[in-house]
Structure 1
Amino acid sequence: MSKVILGIDGGGTKTHACLVDLEGNILATAANGGANWERIGVAAVQKSLDEIIDAVCAEASVSRSDIVDSTCALAGVDWEEDKKLLAPVISALALDGKCQLINDSFAALFAGIPSGIGCVSIAGTGGKSAGRSTSGSVQTMGMELGEGGGAGQLVDTALDLIARAHHGTKEKTALYKELPAAVGFDDPVEFFTAVARGRVSLDETLAPLIFSLADQGDAGAIEVVTKVAQQHANDIQGVVQQLNFEGSTIELIRAGGLHTAANRVFDEVFEKWIKATLPNMHMQVLDVSPVFGAVMHAAHRYFGSVSQDFITNLTSAAKKVEI
């Protein structure tokens, strides 16, 4: 019988799975739609996970009984009651209890730091800041509860700013015209009316427009990007204050579209705020899929102590794989 380790990373819009052997060699990967129960419901998460496990097992020519340990790192797992809500889903995966459910931010952490000791700032469709030390782990609670919200927050902040510009309390910059135009409105009054009456909604797909305007020097867009970058930096400062990190350097993984877009304004503000209060923090942008961190997390559970050979095999192969 083959022995394999499974990692699953499920976000708001896509889910990735990866199977490796006990030496850390990648056997198969798979992808499908989102697995955030807050967005698609518990039943849809069950279907998504079942489908992706079937797909990755078929690709590797193994069965679920060959899986010796696994981690499901899912967006929306923010509270203990979320784990209880999804416990029947995990049980129904027929992995014989060899599966742990965690928030997807920790997959990104383990993907960038194989030991899982450090901090992670997620700024993608949504946002999450988390950290893990030898004494425990913490994570932020949600955008409605003081957390940086990634592209969603960026768009919400931009809407708030152009509304204030319409009221006359902020300057009308290019953002004031470009944001409504991006969703088909030339008349600001018609745009705001449609937003107020629920005929149009703005989503995270508008984030690249805001980043582009900031890069072009638009004062309104720069103000929006600055506010969101500062929020994400502040969240990391709060995480560090709650954890007892040993040693002189704290590792920070930056992941998600806002961190990987190489936007000058966002990067400069985020890094400046981090270095001002946490000068011993070493930052790096995640350059592999977080699903490999879910695999690493499961490997820690299975082996207790993961060998350097396993880490080297997995991390080197992960850089060559696109899912």
Structure 2
Amino acid sequence: MYVVGIDGGGTKTSIALFDITGKYYGTQIESYPSCLDSKSFEKTNPQLEKSIIKLIPPHSEEEIVLSSIFLGLGGIASTKDALFVESLVKTWKICKESTQIHAKNDIYCAHAAGLRGKTGMCFIIGTGSVGFGVDETGNEHRVGGYSPMEGDPGSSYHLGRMLLKALAKALDLRRSYSPLLTAVQQHLHIHGYTDYVNMINTISREETAQLAQLVTQYADVGDKFAVKLIERATDEITLMFHTIYQTLEIHNKQIAIVGSLGNAKSKYKEILYQKVKAIDANYEIFPTQLDPAIGSAILAFKHLQNENYQNFLPHAERK
């Protein structure tokens, strides 16, 4: 009898396997996407079952039974989406009538991984941004994470967009240059109007987000404009925190951070921590140590009202 957690992203899928006693067998990373926005789940569904069977120790296929599975998938935006995924997973040979099958957006597995199944808050601060909190009575609240078109405030993408907008103003003399703006102009090989237009119309979300590295690099050596951009970005994450803080009554004052921008040792992290602790100094802030697929497995265990996984979590920590 096995318990499975799945974290489905836009480029890869992570699958964590436990048995019903809580023994951890490992996490397998597959190179196919399972985010609903990236690929039809009808195509992903058979791939997932094959991947799970491959991860399970040698058995005849008839002997493999899943007790519980939780799928945290990007792109699940409604109950209808979740029910659709669950209905297809029910068709697997390794799922029986008694198998607990649950699917939700991937912020749920990120939260469970970051806080090891406890209450509190989780923030994803990487290419994009989103915040999620759960209190002791089971109430939950999500902020942000709508779409890159909304701007992903506080994220690497947001920092990159602000930098590119400022570069346009420097090019036509609406503002003065700073060392950071000179650096990004050289980095992107922008020599004038035409170069900028070609760049801004073709640059990808990921390429824009990578510019955040320049912002944090220059902020760390005191570039005033870089620090100003970081102040704006961290204001957005602080607003997310304050919104959850006021909406829910969370007694476990912990915040798990997922994502390179939120966890890298930099001016961004320093300023963000200061702003959060100015609201409530009792909050402990830390990077998540578990793969989100482990978070999905934790939620799969919870649906069985089984806490056996807790003794084995140290073995599942990222090295």
SS state at 2:281 partner: coil
Which residue identity lines up with residue 176 of structure 2 in the other structure? E
Aligned counterpart for 1:123 among listed residues 122, 125, 129 = 125
Matching residue of 1:316 = 314
The alpha-carbon distance between structure 1 residues 191 and 137, as it changes in their structure 2 partners (threshold 3 A), is same
Q: Within 2, Cα distance between the matches of 1:153 and 1:70?
A: 35
Instruction: Give the number of equivalent residue pairs.
Output: 307
Q: Deviations over 1:76-130 (max 9, x none)?
A: 3344454356455545556456321122222122113233311101112211100
1:77–1:213 distance in 2 versus 1, CA, 3 Å: farther
Assess if the C-alpha contact under 8 Å between 1:73 and 1:104 holds in 2. yes
What is aligned with 2:260?
Answer: 257
- Specify which of 58, 62, 68 is matched with residue 54 of structure 2: 58
The equivalent of 2:12 in structure 1 is 14
SS of residue matched to 2:265:
coil
Tell me what 2:249 maps to: 244
Q: Does 1:70 align with 2:74?
A: no
1:215 deviates by 2.1
Counterparts of residues 1-323 of structure 1 (less than 5 Å)? 3-31=1-29, 32-38=31-37, 40-41=38-39, 43=40, 45-48=41-44, 50-61=46-57, 63=61, 65-83=64-82, 86=85, 89-91=88-90, 95-96=95-96, 98-133=100-135, 134-141=137-144, 142=146, 148=153, 150-183=155-188, 185-196=189-200, 198-201=201-204, 202-245=207-250, 247=251, 249-263=252-266, 265-302=267-304, 304-307=305-308, 310-313=309-312, 315-319=313-317
Query: Structure 2 length normalisation: TM-score?
Result: 0.84
Contact 2:256 2:286 in 1 (8 A): yes
Q: Match for 1:194: what amino acid? A: N
* Structure 1 residues 86 and 67, CA gap change in structure 2 (3 angstroms): closer
Residues 30 and 52, structure 1, Cα contact 8 Å, conserved in 2? no
Change (3 A) 1:154 1:76: farther
Q: Which runs of 5+ in 1 are unaligned?
A: none
Contact 1:260 1:285 in 2 (8 A): yes
Is the CA contact 1:152–1:204 (under 8 Å) kept in the aligned structure 2? yes
Cα–Cα, structure 1 residues 221 and 318, in superposed 2: closer, same or farther, change >3 Å? same
**How much has 1:7 moved relative to structure 2?**
0.5
Q: Residue 46 of structure 1: CA displacement?
A: 4.4
| Residue aligned with 1:203, SS | helix
Higher mean Cα deviation, 266-275 or 80-89? 80-89
Counterpart residue type for residue 307 of structure 2:
V
Question: Is contact 2:8-2:71 (8 Å) kept?
Answer: yes
C-alpha displacement of 1:145? 5.4
1:281 deviation in Å?
1.7
Identity of aligned residues (%): 19
Q: 1:170 to 1:35 in 2, by over 3 A?
A: farther
What's the Cα RMSD here?
A: 2.7
Task: After superposition, give the CA deviation of every residue in 1:208-245 in whole Å (9 maximum; x if it has no partner).
Answer: 23322322333332222222222112102111211122
Q: Secondary structure at the match of 1:279?
A: coil
SS at 2:184's partner residue? helix
Tell me the TM-score normalized by structure 1.
0.83
